[in-house]
Amino acid sequence: MTTLTERDAGVYYFRFKALASPHGKTTAWIHGSPGIALVVSDAELKVDPTSVTQRWINVTCATSCTLGLVDYYTWYRNGKYLKYTDEASIVIDSADGSESQGSYWCEVRAAGNRLTSSAVCVLGPECWGVTYSSEAICGLKGSSVAMSCYYKYPGGHQFKGGHWYKESPSSGEPEPLSLDPLFRGRLETTSSNCSLTIQDLRDSDSGVYLYTFKTTSSNWIKAKTGIRLSVTDLQVTVDPDTVTGYRIKTTCSTSCRGTSPLYYYWYRNGQLLRNEHGPDIDIYSSYNYYEGNYSCTIKGFENHRSTAVCILGKECWDVTYSSEAICALKGSSVDISCRYKHPAGHTNQFWFNEQQSNTEPEDLSLDHTYERRVEYKRNNSDHTLRLKDLTEEDAREYCFTL
Q: Taking the CA atoms of the chain, what radius of gyration do you get in angstroms?
A: 38
* Mean pLDDT to the nearest integer, 66-77: 86
Q: 384 has which bridge partners?
A: 337, 377
Q: CB under 8 Å to 287, separation ≥6 — which residues?
A: none
Least confident of 20-34, 154-168, 214-228: 20-34
pLDDT tens readout for residues 278-289:
899 999 988 888
- Residue 367 phi/psi, 5° resolution? -80, 125
Q: Identify which of 252, 317, 313, 315 has the alpha carbon closest to the alpha carbon of residue 285.
A: 313
Q: CB under 8 Å to 203, separation ≥6 — which residues?
A: 141, 231
Rounded Cα distance between 6 and 123, Å, is: 29
CA-to-CA separations, 202 to 65, 253, 295, 298, in angstroms, rounded? 56, 18, 21, 18
Cβ density class 243-280: b for 16+ within 10 Å, e for less: beeeebbbbbebebeeeeebebbbbbeeeeeeebeebe
Full-model pTM: 0.68
Other Cβ atoms less than 10 A from the Cβ of 71: the count is: 15
pLDDT tens readout for residues 314-344:
888 889 998 888 998 999 999 999 998 888 8
The domain limits of the chain are: 6-38, 44-125, 128-232, 236-314, 318-401
Q: Which helix (H) or strand (E) holds 340?
A: strand 334-341
Rounded Cα distance between 225 and 296, Å, is: 33
CATH class of 128-232: mainly beta
- CATH of region 236-314, choose from 3.30.430.20, 3.40.430.10, 3.40.50.170, 2.60.40.10: 2.60.40.10
Residues 44-125: name the CATH superfamily.
Immunoglobulins (2.60.40.10)
Torsion of CA 157, 163, 167, 168, to 10 degrees: -110
The topology under which CATH files domain 318-401 is: Immunoglobulin-like (2.60.40)
Greater confidence (181 vs 38) lies with 181
Of these ranges, 62-66, 145-149, 349-353, 369-373, the one predicted with the greatest mean pLDDT is 145-149
Q: Identify which of 174, 250, 170, 185 has the alpha carbon closest to the alpha carbon of residue 209.
A: 174
13, 48 contact by CB (below 8 A): no
Beta strand pairing call for 221-222 and 207-215: antiparallel
Q: Residue 193 pLDDT more than 60?
A: yes
pLDDT tens readout for residues 250-262:
999 887 765 567 8
For the chain, the average pLDDT equals: 87
Q: Residue 21 pLDDT more than 80?
A: no
| 3-state SS, residue 293 | strand
Cβ density class 83-98: b for 16+ within 10 Å, e for less: eeeeebebebebeeee
Q: How confident is the model at residue 36 (pLDDT cuts 50, 70, 90)?
A: confident
Q: Is the peptide bond before 279 cis (omega within 30 degrees of 0)?
A: no
Q: CB under 8 Å to 135, separation ≥6 — which residues?
A: 225, 227, 228
